[in-house]
């Protein structure tokens, strides 16, 4: 083998070896570990036995649009809380006999610790009102419907 080819191969081997050893070190700026962002999931379940449920949920930055849920269906979405922990989602639910606007997610420690401690906020729309699961997975009554007069 020609000596210049041998030098070239050794040079390439050293470059690859150097590159592999440097891969263990990260030079990218690291995000502060003081702020830990959480990834939440929200679910809206239509547990109205024979009625369609109109669901319109939104935040300051995101409008999820109108969803028409058949009995037994659900709407769900997930998101990461912002750096300042100010994320809030509101929902307007409407069915044949009732309407309700409420916060489906808010960065409130009492709300998060009691209801979304597992990082999932699961809502259930029922004839008598709206329920939210607690950290034990049990549905807890939250609010009555504003009744619609026909």
**pLDDT of the residue at 14:** 58
Residue pair 109/139 in contact by the 8 Å Cβ criterion: no
Q: How many residues does the chain have?
A: 150
pLDDT exceeds 90 at position 80? no
- Using one digit for the tens of pLDDT, what is the confidence trace for 32-77? 445 566 788 999 999 999 999 999 999 998 999 999 999 999 999 9
- What is the longest distance spanned by two Cα atoms in the chain? 94
Q: What is the pTM assigned to this prediction?
A: 0.72
Domains of the chain listed by start with CATH number: 39-147 (2.60.40)
**pLDDT of the residue at 149:** 78
Q: Is the dihedral of CA 17, 18, 24, 26 positive or negative?
A: negative
């Amino acid at each position: 083998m020609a000596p210049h080819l041998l030098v070239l191969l050794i040079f390439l081997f050293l470059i690859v070896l150097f590159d592999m050893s440097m891969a263990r070190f990260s030079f990218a700026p690291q995000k502060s570990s003081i702020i830990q962002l959480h990834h939440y999931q929200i679910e809206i379940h239509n547990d109205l036995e024979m009625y369609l449920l109109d669901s319109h949920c939104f935040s300051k930055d995101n409008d999820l649009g109108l969803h028409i849920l058949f009995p037994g269906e659900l709407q769900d979405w997930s998101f990461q809380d912002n750096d300042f922990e100010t994320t809030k989602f509101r929902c307007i639910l409407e069915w044949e006999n009732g309407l309700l606007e409420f916060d489906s997610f808010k960065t409130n420690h009492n709300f998060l610790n009691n209801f979304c401690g597992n990082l999932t906020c699961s809502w259930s729309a029922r004839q008598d009102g709206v329920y939210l699961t607690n950290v034990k997975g049990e549905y807890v009554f939250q609010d009555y419907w504003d009744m619609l007069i026909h």
